[in-house]
Structure 1
Amino acid sequence: MHDLRRICALSGLSLLAATWLGAQAPSPAPSAAPAAPANPFLLSPEERARLDQLSREDHADMLRQLGITKLRPGANGRAAAGEPGAANYDPAKANPYPDWPDPLTLKDGRKVTSAEMWWRQRRPEIAEDFEREVYGRVPSGVPTVAWTVAETVETTVGGQPVVARRVIGHVDNSAYPAISVDIKMAVVVPVNAKGPVPVLMMFGWGNMPGEPLPRFPGVQEPAAPPSTEQLIAAGWGYVSLSTASIQADNGAGLTAGIIGLANKGQRRTPEQWGSLRAWAWGAARAL
C-alpha cells in the first residue's frame, strides 16, 4: 500500500514537473510564410548564359531558314548627329513610312462599301497580313485542352469575400509525351454576386489570392490598390493566367511549351507562331 502511494506520488510529481517544464518551454516557431515563386527575370549567371546561348542558336537557325547571311546594324544612340548609324532625334524625320494603307480599301483597289465587304473581304486580308508578317500562324492539329478544377477556396481579396478556383488545362500530349503543357490559371469571383459577373482576364502567374508574387528588387509597389482588389470591390471577377505555363518568352523555350509540343520538339519554320500568338491561343482556350 505504501509502495502504491509512493508510485502515485512520484507520478503526480512527474506530471507536475512535465506540466511546469512545458509551460516554461518556448512556443513553437510559427510556420514560415510560403516562399515567393522564382522570378523568371532574375536568373543565375549560369542559367542566363544557357538561355542566351539557346536563343542565339534559335536565331541563327531562323536566319538560315530565311537565307539571311548578314544583318545591318541598328541605329546607334551614342553616335553624334551626322555620324554613320546615328540615331535620329528630329521629329520631322521620325516617320519613314508616312503613307499608310487605307484600312477600307481592298488590295485590288476597290473601296469597302458595306459591312459584308468588310467582314468577308477586307478584314480577312488584314488578318492574313498580321498572321504572315507579325504574329505567325497557328499550325493545324494543335492538341486539345482538358480543364479541371484542382482547388476551390473561400477567402478574401481586399477585405471582400470571394470564391477562388485553381484551374489546370492539360494539353493532350499523347502524340509527343516528351513535352507536357499544363496551363495554370486562377478564377476569382465575388461571393455575394447575385448572378453572372463580368470577368477580366489578366496575363500573370496564375496565382490564387494570398499567394506571394515575384517581386523585383528596388521596384516600389504602386500606391493604388492592386487591380485585383479594385475589380472585386466593383463587383467584377478576374482570371490570372500564367503565360509562362503556355509558352516561355525566350528563344530558348521555342522547342518546348505549346509551340514545341505542336512541333514535336522541332524548331519553328519562319511562318509559324511565336510567344504572343501562343499566349493568345491559350487565353482563347481558357475562355
Structure 2
Amino acid sequence: MGQTVNYDESKVGTYPLPDPLLLPDGQKISTSQEWEQEGRPKTLKLFSDHVYGRFPGKPDGLRFSVREVNKSALGGLATRKQVTVYFTNAPDAPSMELLLYLPNNTEGTVPAFVGLNFYGNQSINADPGIIITNRWVKNNETYGITNHRATESSRGVQASRWPVEELMKRGYALVTAYYGDLEPDYSSGWQTGIRTTLKTELGIESQEWGAIGAWSWGLSRIMDYIQTETAINASQVSLTGHSRLGKAALWAGANDQRFALVISNESGEGGAALARRNFGETIGTMNQTFPHWYYPVYKTYNQQPQNLPVDQHQLLALIAPRPLYVCSATEDLWSDPKGEFLSAYHAGSVYQLYNQAGVGASQMPPADQPVGATIRYHNRTGQHAITLYDWQQHLAFVQTQFNLVTLKLLTTGSGSVGQTPKQINYIKGASVTLAATPATGYKFTGWSGSATGTTNPLTVTMTGNKTITANFALLSGQKVERFNLINANTNAVIQIMSEGAVLNLATLPTQNLNIQAVTNPAKVGSVRLTLAGPKTRNTLENSAPYALFGDNAGDYFAWVPAVGSYSLTGTPYTAASGGGTAGTPLKINFKVINQATSARYPVEGAPENSNSALLHYYPNPFVHQFSLQVPGSVPEPVTVKLYDTQGREVVTLEKLHPNQVVRVGQGLKPGVYLLRMSTGTQVTSFRLLKER
C-alpha cells in the first residue's frame, strides 16, 4: 500500500534521535578508545542486524587478471587499465570488471577516487577503448540501453557525472566498476548476483543481506585490488557514491576502514538522511519500491521508524575519525537535504572524541556554501545529480584532508622548467627541485611568485600551494660572426670566407661545397641565409650548424657553385623560424673562379713554393713519389695527411720531426691531391699533382 510523501517542513514533527555515545546497555562513551573498543563494533552490529544485513569478508579465492593497459589514453593524458576481479578460483568464477584511469603527467603513487557506476564502465567516458559491459542493464533508450543490454551508443552517456580528464589533470586516479556486475538492480536480481553465486564461498544466505550490502561488499573488493596497484597510494583512497550508490559507499566506508575518506552525494533515505524525519523518501516508500536493497528485517520499521534502534547519523559516525563529505541538492527534496545536513551535524559528537571538528553550525547553510571541517556539507543549487561543482568541492576537501598542496609553474620569455620529483600533488612539507632551461637565444633571469632569486636549480619546500614563474630574457648582441667554407665530402672547414674572397674551383680540395654561418652565441633561435648571384638561395635554419645548403645532423649537403660573383647575408633571430628579434647580420661579397695553374697548385693563402717555412715538398708535379721534409724551424711534431679529390684520406703520416725526410706517393693514381699539415696550433694545406 502506498504512503503519502511529505514535503512540508511544518509536518515533520518531533523525532528524538539516539545518542551515538549512548549504547543500548546504557554505557556512555567518553573517549575515542572506548568508541573503538565498544561503541563502534556495537553500533556496526545494530546496522547489520536491523538495516543492511551482514557484511561478509574477503573470499579466499579472490584473484585479479589485467585485461588491457593503454598508456596513451585520453590523448596521452592517462593510462587506461581494465582488470577482471574473480571472486573464486573456479574457471567460471563470478567476477567484476574494473576500469582504472591513472594520470600520466606525474611520478610516484597518486591518490584515487573509487566509486560504482550505474550503466557500465563505458558510460563514464566516450573513450572507445573501454570494454562495454555484457551484463543486464536497466533499459534507457536515451542512453543506448535496449533489451537490458548496453550498446555502442551508451559510451560516455554519463560523462558529465565523471570528470575523468579533470581528475587526470589534477593528479588523481579513478577506479570504477558497474554495480550490476555484483547484483542486477531489480527485485529478483539477487538470484543471478553474488548473493546467490557466492553464498557458499562467503558462508552467508542470500536473504541475510541486501543489494546495498552486495554493492558495498564489491567496493571492498576493489580496495583489495588497489592495494596491489603500484600506481596508487592505497592510504589516500576516497570512496564516493551518488544516490543509491551513495548509500552503498557509506555502508562500505563504515565497514572497511581502509577507505581514507568517504563522500556521500544525495544518498537520501538509508544513506545520509535521518530515517526518523518524515520528509521525502521514507523507510516505507523505499522498501516498497526497492524491496531487494536492504536486509528483510528493515521492512519491519516501514511504519515505525521511531522504533529503529539506530538512525543514519550513527552510520556517519562509523566513518570517524576519517574525513566525511555529505552533499545535497536544493531541488532534490526526495533525498531530504535538511535530514542529510542534520545527520552530518549529529555525527559530530563521535568526531569530537578524536578532537576532530564536524560541520560546526547547527543551522543548515545557504545553498552553495560548504561548511565544516572533518565533516563537511554542502547543498548545491539544482536537481538530483552529481555535477562538476560537486566534484570541485570534493577535490578541495580531499586536498585539505590529505594535506596535499600543488605547484603551478609558469614562464615568461622562452624557456622551460623541470621539476624533481615531477608530481601534481605534494605532501605539505615535501621538497621539490626546479631547474630552469632557457630556449636558444634566451637566458634565465630569475624566479618570481612564490620563489625569488636567481639560484638555479632551486629547491622549494612545499609549505602550501605555490605558483612560481621562471623568467627568461633575450640574449643581447646575437650576431653572425663569420662564414666557413665547408668540404661537403669530409664536413671539414676549408677556410674562413672574408669580404672579397676568391674561391678557385681548380685549386680547392673539392667542388662539393657548402657554407656555414657561425653565430655568437653558438646557438641562436634561427638563422636566415640569403645568397644572391648566379645561384640564388633563401633558407631559414633552425638548428646548428647553420648551413646555406642544408645538412643532416652535421653531415653537409653538397653545392657545386657556378662561376661568378656572389653576395651572402646571414641574419640571426632569437626564436625559431625567424621569430623573435633579429640580431646583427653579416654580409660578404665573394667570387667563384675556375682557373688551373701551370706548375704548382697552391691553396689560397698557402705557401707558393716548396720552400715553405712550414713544410718542404718536392717535386710538384711528381711522377712516382714526392719528398716531404719538416724544416728545423718547426718546434713540434707534425701530422701530414693526403686527400684525393673526393675528400678521401689516402696517406697519413704522424709525428714527423724537424729535418725528417719521407717519401710519399707510391701507388697513387694520377690526379690532384691535397696535402694537409697540422701541428698542435696550426693547419696548412698544399696542392700537389701526380702526372702519370
Same fold (TM over 0.5): yes
When residues 258 and 118 of structure 1 are mapped into structure 2, their CA distance, relative to the original with a 3 A threshold, is same
Larger relative helix fraction: 1
SS in 1 for 2:180: coil
How many equivalent pairs are there?
Answer: 198
Please state which structure has a larger fraction of its residues in strand.
Answer: 2
Residue identity opposite 1:93 in structure 2: K
- The CA deviation at 1:91 is 2.3
Equivalent residue, structure 2, for 1:229:
165
Cα gap change, 1:95/1:185 in structure 2, threshold over 3 Å: closer, same or farther?
farther
Question: RMSD across aligned C-alpha pairs, in angstroms?
Answer: 3.4
Higher relative contact order (Cα pairs below 8 Å, separated by 6+ residues): 1
**What residue in structure 2 maps to residue 119 of structure 1?**
36
Query: How far did 1:231 drift?
Result: 0.6
Q: Which has the larger radius of gyration?
A: 2
Which one-letter code corresponds to 1:277 in the other structure?
G
Cα deviation code 1:178-221 (max 9, x no counterpart): x7411101111112221111111121223487137897528997
Partner of 1:163: 79
Which segment is superposed worse, 249-258 or 203-212?
Answer: 203-212
1:103 shift after superposition: 0.3
1:257 matched to 2:175? no
1:50-199 alignment runs, 5 A limit: 73-76=1-4, 87-88=5-6, 90-95=8-13, 98-139=15-56, 142=59, 144-157=61-74, 159-172=75-88, 174=90, 180-199=93-112
Matches of 1:143 and 1:257, distance apart in 2: 19
Cα distance, 1:168 vs structure 2 = 0.3
State the distance in 2 between where 1:230 and 1:241 align: 19
2:116 to 194, 198, 203: 203
One-letter amino acid of the counterpart of residue 121, structure 2? G
* Counterparts of 1:218 and 1:238, CA distance in 2: 22
Q: Flag structure 2 segments of 5+ consecutive residues without an equivalent.
A: 145-155, 224-692
Counterpart of 1:244 in 2: which secondary structure? Answer: helix
Instruction: Give the secondary structure class of the aligned counterpart of 1:169.
Output: strand
Instruction: Report the alpha carbon displacement of residue 230 of structure 1 after superposing the two structures with TM.
Output: 1.4
Q: Which amino acid aligns with 1:190?
A: P
Q: For residues 141 and 111 of structure 2, what CA distance do their matches in structure 1 show?
A: 31
TM-score by length of 1: 0.59
Structure 1, gaps ≥5 residues long:
1-72, 77-86
What secondary structure, in the 3-state scheme, does the structure 2 residue paired with 1:251 have? coil
Where 2:78 maps in the other structure, the secondary structure is strand
Displacement after TM superposition at 1:268 (Å): 4.7
Matched residue SS, 1:217: helix
Contact 1:155 1:209 in 2 (8 A): no
**1:255, 1:263 within 8 Å by CA — same for their partners in 2?**
no
Are the equivalent residues in 2 in contact too, given 1:155–1:162 (CA < 8 A)?
yes
- Aligned residue number for residue 217 of structure 1: 142
**Partner residue of 1:243 out of 161, 171, 179:** 179
Give the Cα separation in 1 of the matches to 2:101 and 2:93: 26
Residue of structure 1 equivalent to 2:259: none
Cα separation, 1, equivalents of 2:88 and 2:157:
39
